Structure 1
Amino acid sequence: MDSFYNQKKRDKQLAKIRLDYGFLECGIHHFVKSVQKKFKEHIGSFEAQKLATRAFQTVEKLHYGTSKKVHFKSFNDDISVENKSNTTGLRYAEGNVVWGDKPTKKNPKPKNWLCMPISPKSKDEYAHLALFDKTKYVRILKREIRGKVRYFVQLIQEGFPPTKRNRKIVDETKRVGIDIGTSTIAISSQSTVELRELAPECNIDEKEIKRIQRKMDRSKRSTNRSNFNKNGTVKKGKV
């Protein structure tokens, strides 16, 4: 129990240090605000915040030990830019992907204005059904394919993806029953019945599992001695 309280105390102290130094996602959003003003003709505030969030999550992985190194992108690397919503900046509206300043009477052709129509193929039923859902935000990807730089647009839609109906089925009248268990799966049809293992190549080492469980039990008892009686039984109630 003492180690548990010490861990909570340490976590609070570390959280205070991160707060004092501004090591928070909102902190890097505040930092990127002044940087974004220099590129406001091309990058909106939401796009800049999304880039800042991506950078913060990368550094956070290094902070918590889930990553060993931070990789910085070079000028020629593949990049992606995305928005946080579909209301301003980079967005999908009325069948077009738009980005930048809108044309006005004073400036009918702004340099940074992008208006690209999205026109899926007439036979692509999946794409037409997906466009019926509400667009959450838009992402633009830059990729180099066979020595040529190409740009792709991704629409992140709400809800579940449509069901693909153009798949060829051999015979729709035949039925197959499947019963999935913890380690096996049973298959039953009109012509055959089979019982297969879910992971045939996975060999369970019961001796190794028991050894790890005993080690965990010893560790739990040594670090929480106040929760156990002299005979090894667990004390009832809170200690």
Structure 2
Amino acid sequence: MPRSTKPSFVLELPLKVDSKQDSELQARFNAAMRLYNNVLGEAKTRMGLVRKSEPYQLARKISRDRKKERSDAFSKAREAYRFTDYDLQSYANRAAKDSRWIAEKVDSNTQQKIATRAFKAVERVLFGKAKDVRFKVESRFRSVEGKTNKQGIRWKDDRVVWAGLELSAIIDFNNEVIKHGLSCPVKYCRIIRRELNGKRRWYAQIVLEGISYQKPQNYVSDGLVGLDLNVSNIAFVADSHADLLPFADKVLTFSKEITRLQRQMQRSQRGLNPDNFESDFEARKGRKTVIKKGKPKKGKRQWKKSGNYRKTAQKKRELERRKTAYTKSQNRRVVNEILRHGKNIKTENVSVKGWQKRYGKAIAVKSPGFVQSELKRKAENAGGSFIKFSTQKTALSQTHLDGSRIKKSLSERVHRDVTGIPEHHRDLFSAFLSRYVNQDKLSLQDAVNEYPGVEPLLLEAWQRHLTRNSRKRVPKQAV
């Protein structure tokens, strides 16, 4: 019998932590990190044995059509070398007891959850979803969580309780989101460690049973929405509204500041670790001969880091954190705006990972993948749907209302239909056509029939887009 799953959401609250509690939490997180790395190494070893084993090689030869037989064969191969979640939980408990100090700092339930976390990381490599796993260092080990709210890390009476440690939360009881969250049953709790502006901060994330609070302005409507996702914007056409919204609008990228800090860090590294770099060399730049810095030598090496280097790195991390926070905040507004017009979404199956190879910096700044995943999550949680269809089979950007297909270059942003209808923005017209795609086939007749009612929406959306862009180009002195 498959285990029933109930909807859940997360409520995050800041914690009041004094210096003594901070030191204790640091010690416990250090113990948890070392246990995680221990289990991760053991899981990698067991995965290697599984891959080399004869039962695993035989399982790979079984046809994918025989799913049950193939799955059972893989399970037996993993069980033979104790590469299962349960076996690694047992290993984690034994390893913690052997070290003693880890068992004193981390309770058994949390040890098991750490083992599950390591197992899932290595399992992704076995399934081909990741190339490798990374062992954690302090800056990358940011959370510890419990299994249930009965033992270990627990939420109790407006505070986090963990093996004799009680951490009070800062709660605004006038906040409707917090009031709703605290009224729901608690599944389990986790403690988060973050660095904000050079200072360590602690938070409680409570995983609650139910559906998260919905603000009145962020309502979700029934209706069909066609999407066209781009690198820097998203076009959508709903039943009675259309728009072309930019990603991460007016977000500060701090690109100049980050570049300056990176140069400082590079100079510091080269000064303290000259043996880790190849020698400088001459190179031609146009008609000039310039001296170029040598690249870092390959292989694992020891790196010295000065105090100034660490301070500069911390400043860079803070700017990147702020940039990411601003981007997510603005992009969530885009998601909420689309869902206000419909929760049944149709869009092309585009690969944002593929875009990263060509538009790396733009993807990092605009984060279209985050918008896509948030739309899917929120639409499905609201009882809607998120349907992807093939880009190659539909070719919406090339399709005209008479059924003909004419290729366009990426720089051509205007759709000029051969049937004589007015010009439209390319992305908006593709979003309009996506509403009529079913099972990778475009129902062109439905699009033609509905076009007269949608034409004003498309033209108004394009005009709004042009108005927004013209405002951005106004010099600051003229405002």
For Structure 1 versus Structure 2, the TM-score category normalised by the shorter chain is 0.5 to 0.7
> 1:168, CA displacement in angstroms?
9.9
> 1:164, CA displacement in angstroms?
2.5
In the TM superposition, what are the counterparts of 1:167-206 in structure 2 within 5 Å? 167=217, 179-180=223-224, 185-187=238-240, 204-206=391-393
Q: Per the alignment, do residues 49 and 122 of structure 1 end up closer, same or farther by CA in structure 2, a change over 3 Å counting?
A: same
* Letter matched to residue 75 of structure 1: E
Q: Which has the higher contact order (CA 8 A, sep 6+)?
A: 2
Q: Which has the larger radius of gyration?
A: 1
Q: 1:31 corresponds to which residue? A: 91
> 1:61, CA displacement in angstroms?
0.6
Describe the SS at the equivalent of 1:150.
Answer: strand
Q: Per the alignment, do residues 120 and 185 of structure 1 end up closer, same or farther by CA in structure 2, a change over 3 Å counting?
A: same
Q: Could you tell me whether the CA contact under 8 Å between 2:109 and 2:152 is conserved in 1?
A: yes
> 1:206, CA displacement in angstroms?
3.4
Describe the SS at the equivalent of 1:41.
Answer: helix
In the TM superposition, what are the counterparts of 1:31-180 in structure 2 within 5 Å? 31-37=91-97, 38=100, 39-100=102-163, 113-165=164-216, 167=217, 179-180=223-224
Q: Per the alignment, do residues 180 and 45 of structure 1 end up closer, same or farther by CA in structure 2, a change over 3 Å counting?
A: same
Per-residue CA shift, 1:150-204, capped at 9, x if unaligned? Answer: 2211111111112325x599xxxxxxx864167863117xxxxxxxx9659x894
Distance 1:156 1:52 in 2: 19
Distance 1:28 1:126 in 2: 38
Could you state the TM-score of these two structures normalised by the residue count of structure 2?
0.33
Q: Per the alignment, do residues 205 and 3 of structure 1 end up closer, same or farther by CA in structure 2, a change over 3 Å counting?
A: closer
Per-residue CA shift, 1:122-156, capped at 9, x if unaligned? Answer: 42122022101111111001122222222211111
Distance 2:109 2:148 in 1: 8
* Letter matched to residue 172 of structure 2: K
Q: Could you tell me whether the CA contact under 8 Å between 1:32 and 1:52 is conserved in 2?
A: yes
Distance 2:185 2:66 in 1: 48
Unaligned runs of 5+ in 1: 101-112, 170-176, 189-196, 209-239
Per-residue CA shift, 1:20-40, capped at 9, x if unaligned? Answer: 100100010110111233223
* Letter matched to residue 140 of structure 2: D
Q: Per the alignment, do residues 118 and 75 of structure 1 end up closer, same or farther by CA in structure 2, a change over 3 Å counting?
A: closer
Distance 1:6 1:206 in 2: 29
* Letter matched to residue 47 of structure 1: T
* Letter matched to residue 27 of structure 1: D
> 1:69, CA displacement in angstroms?
1.1
Q: Which of the two has greater helix per residue?
A: 2
Q: State the superposition RMSD in angstroms.
A: 3.4
Distance 1:126 1:10 in 2: 46
Could you state the TM-score of these two structures normalised by the residue count of structure 1?
0.63
Distance 2:394 2:174 in 1: 58
Q: Per the alignment, do residues 120 and 16 of structure 1 end up closer, same or farther by CA in structure 2, a change over 3 Å counting?
A: same
Per-residue CA shift, 1:56-98, capped at 9, x if unaligned? Answer: 0010011111100111111332421000100111101122211
Deviates more, 1:145-154 or 1:7-16: 7-16
Distance 1:14 1:179 in 2: 43
Per-residue CA shift, 1:96-123, capped at 9, x if unaligned? Answer: 21111xxxxxxxxxxxx21122341242
Q: Could you tell me whether the CA contact under 8 Å between 1:120 and 1:128 is conserved in 2?
A: no
User: Which of the numbers 76, 79, 86 marks the counterpart of 1:16?
Assistant: 76
Distance 1:14 1:199 in 2: 35
Describe the SS at the equivalent of 1:187.
Answer: coil
Deviates more, 1:118-127 or 1:128-137: 118-127
Q: 1:218 corresponds to which residue? A: none
Distance 2:146 2:114 in 1: 9
State the aligned residue count.
179
Unaligned runs of 5+ in 2: 1-61, 228-236, 242-344, 351-389, 396-479
* Letter matched to residue 125 of structure 1: E
Q: Per the alignment, do residues 162 and 119 of structure 1 end up closer, same or farther by CA in structure 2, a change over 3 Å counting?
A: same
Describe the SS at the equivalent of 2:239.
Answer: strand
* Letter matched to residue 19 of structure 1: E
